[in-house]
Amino acid sequence: QDFSLPWTVESVGDAPKKEVVDFLQAHASLELQQAHKLVGNVKNVCKNLKGPAVVAAYVAAIEQGAWVSPDELAREKEAREAMQALSLAEKKRAAAQTAPAPAAEEPTRPAVPMFRKRVLKKGKGSVPKSGEKVQLHYTGKLEDGTVFDSTTDGKTGKKKAPLVFKVGMPKPVVIPGWDAAVLTMAVGETAEVTIPAEHAYGKKGVEGLVPPNSTLVFEVELTNIL
């Protein structure tokens, strides 16, 4: 110790807290500073420590002879910073070793088209707009050719009453794929429309008529826009 103590054990209690903290940070060992929570910005240390705690740190430094030269204190701080950097590097390395491998991204499935249309007879009339009422004849089949619904009598071949509904409504009146297809047809047109299950009756199907997950094939004739 090549400096004189500015306060005695008896008088340090009357000294300004900031001056005592300044002195201890400049001359006390880093170990003592850490033990008494003196490390850090002087203003913050003074804010967090009450006067008696600062006095106790000063008395402990005297009793333990925990004084160091500026050079020794600098070396202690350098050693502490090196240890902290090493500890941080070890933590990062450990985290990298234990981190789960990133999950493989699932390939994006292409959107299923609502329908496929093959024109059998071209129409010469207007194309319906959303909200308009259309009139049409149709025959609905499963992929194996089984007819499940039709506006044509299966025995006589005569057409029954046509189907009439509003097309392009926010909540479609008919299955979505069929509704979308009719919006592309002109009056007088006859088309074969194939609709995947996702845009038909889906996983549930229609009991007794359409099995679950069925692709449907319709022959549609748009006869009028009402």
Active site residue 115: no
Active site residue 175: yes
- Give the active site residue among 23, 58, 115, 201: 201
- Give the active site residue among 23, 58, 115, 138: 138
- Give the active site residue among 148, 153, 179, 225: 148
Active site residue 14: no
- Give the active site residue among 22, 62, 149, 225: 149
Question: DSSP string covering the chain, please?
Answer: --S--SS-TTTGGGS-HHHHHHHHHHHB-HHHHHHTT--S-HHHHHHHS-HHHHHHHHHHHHHHT-B--HHHHHHHHHHHHHHHHHHHHHHHHHHHHHSPPPPPPPPPPPPPPS-EEEEEE---SPPP-TT-EEEEEEEEEETTS-EEEESB-TTT--B-SPEEEE-S-SS-SS-HHHHHHHTTPPTT-EEEEEE-GGGTTTTT-BTTTB-TT--EEEEEEEEEE-
Active site residue 138: yes
Which residues are part of the catalytic machinery? 138, 148-149, 175, 201, 218
